[in-house]
Structure 1
């Protein structure tokens, strides 16, 4: 049985087919362009395979409220050609199989829960730190969703005393996305993170903000694993810095037996998104 999966990112689409055991059998990726061209390229790939279902983890914001008139639509995204695009309806029209839709970060979380570093635990939180910041929670094999999908990238955090930057989020300024995303780093320093590798103050401030957010998530949700992915986390030294500041902020209030096993990197070599999309169909 072949299952299709799409990691529909704001920068690139990754399309894959795999089986129910989490084995990817074929995969292709291409830049995210306008909707018609991008989805036509995806369909050309899946037309080569006899899939029985399709799972999609998409960039957002996306309407996941099943009672909404715009359920399955991309909402107020900065990608103007995708704004208000009826993504789910388009997939349902193009494919004669069941289609399952969720956010890209929820799919990544489910991929790591089923096949990766969180396999064997009851709950895990996946945080992506890239152009934006988002997070998804899986509990007992189910992706958490309230009225709509969570927007954990927009929690408020305390400013670092040496950071005059007002924040990059157009709605909230100094939320965690506005202060710690890749976009925030570039706007604060007028350089991309990759150009700031040796500037320790950059990563000290970055770790300070991310540790605050993780502490907030941890005391509320109590996940057994917290996975940090996304382009910013390619700076591997951040993991130890975040762990140290997280423990300092927690200040012994809750027991953490091994912070190195609590806060971890993804383990699926950038396939967690498509594997999670496939897992949405189970």
Structure 2
């Protein structure tokens, strides 16, 4: 039985929690506190103070997991390991998230991206439970993609940046040039919430379910799903987020993904309209914090192995 602290560090708020965990069972009771994301110094100090308080009620923490917005430096051999790298959020570039919390609390701190954390949580306790490989996609203000293989979040040269996959845009059908300041009409540039609003002049939340833009978004996310299948061959793709959870959108994504796959891959899970392959989250809005808990637990498993 281990006492794990968790931080879901977002661009506007941080959710801090702690739970007593045993084995791979989903924690039944997680006490949480929400903290506004202001400056790195103030936010991380308040996170550490809250973790110290929550952990004190349990007799102290054994480890902390952090699922953070990024980009992050996740190479443990680099001196800036656990820090935020290039980010448009003012003041946060170079913020030493992991080191700050580890030094303040005196316990091991595991860190990964928010989407890798959510992917790990969905694999432990949610819609991808029991699978060896899966992908978690969040579609909202931006688009993030977390990849888990063999029960572990994937890193390489950097962490996955699937939101910037290049997709095919038909200018006659969709003249919008794209929202992304780096790539224009990449996936995020075409299908995130701000891209939808810029294209139609209204927030996505105000659009009817049959608005034509949803078929465009479904097509771009369907292309993403087909590309992920071809490149990574995951057993399941979980799609969530404020835009990703839009009623009826997953059906459009499945339809277009099946069209883009074109019958090339023959597998039983790719039948019945891909309903078993592209699915909604099992943890809902708790995926990020659950992922942070899973990161802390996984770190302790690695150390004790």
TM-score by length of 1: 0.95
Measure how far apart 1:43 and its partner are. Answer: 2.1
Is 1:39 aligned to residue 44 of structure 2?
Answer: yes
Answer yes or no: is the 8 Å Cα contact 2:117–2:295 preserved in 1.
yes
Answer yes or no: is the 8 Å Cα contact 2:209–2:247 preserved in 1.
no
- Given the alignment, which residue of 242, 257, 271 partners 1:257? 271
Higher-RCO chain (CA-CA 8 Å, sequence separation at least 6): 1
Structure 2: distance between partners of 1:226 and 1:269? 15
Moved more, 61-70 or 230-239: 61-70
- Given the alignment, which residue of 180, 185, 197 partners 2:208? 197
Q: Which residue of 2 aligns with 1:18?
A: 19
Structure 2: distance between partners of 1:269 and 1:129? 13
Is 1:243 aligned to residue 244 of structure 2?
Answer: no
Answer yes or no: is the 8 Å Cα contact 1:197–1:235 preserved in 2.
no
Moved more, 194-203 or 213-222: 194-203
Q: Which residue of 2 aligns with 1:112?
A: 122
Q: Which residue of 2 aligns with 1:180?
A: 191
Structure 1: distance between partners of 2:48 and 2:79? 26
Over 3 Å counting, the alpha-carbon distance change for 1:32 and 1:51 in structure 2 is same
The aligned runs of 1:146-185 (5 Å cut-off) are 146-160=156-170, 161-185=172-196
For residues 225-267 of structure 1, the C-alpha deviation after alignment (integer angstroms, 9 at most, x for no partner) is 1000111123121011111111111111112134101100001
For residues 55-103 of structure 1, the C-alpha deviation after alignment (integer angstroms, 9 at most, x for no partner) is 0011011111223232221111111121221212211211110000100
For residues 179-214 of structure 1, the C-alpha deviation after alignment (integer angstroms, 9 at most, x for no partner) is 111121122223211011345201011101110111
Q: Which residue of 1 aligns with 2:33?
A: 28
Gaps of 5+ in 2: 299-305
Answer yes or no: is the 8 Å Cα contact 2:83–2:97 preserved in 1.
yes
Measure how far apart 1:163 and its partner are. Answer: 0.9
Answer yes or no: is the 8 Å Cα contact 2:82–2:99 preserved in 1.
yes
Flag as ranges the 4+ runs of structure 1 deviating above 6 A: none
Answer yes or no: is the 8 Å Cα contact 2:118–2:288 preserved in 1.
yes
Q: Which residue of 2 aligns with 1:52?
A: 62
Q: Which residue of 1 aligns with 2:303?
A: none
TM-score by length of 2: 0.89
Structure 1: distance between partners of 2:87 and 2:197? 20
CA-atom RMSD, angstroms? 1.4
Moved more, 144-153 or 96-105: 144-153
Answer yes or no: is the 8 Å Cα contact 1:13–1:29 preserved in 2.
yes
For residues 150-203 of structure 1, the C-alpha deviation after alignment (integer angstroms, 9 at most, x for no partner) is 111111110044111111111111110111111211222232110113452010
Answer yes or no: is the 8 Å Cα contact 2:3–2:20 preserved in 1.
yes
Answer yes or no: is the 8 Å Cα contact 1:212–1:246 preserved in 2.
yes
Structure 2: distance between partners of 1:118 and 1:216? 19
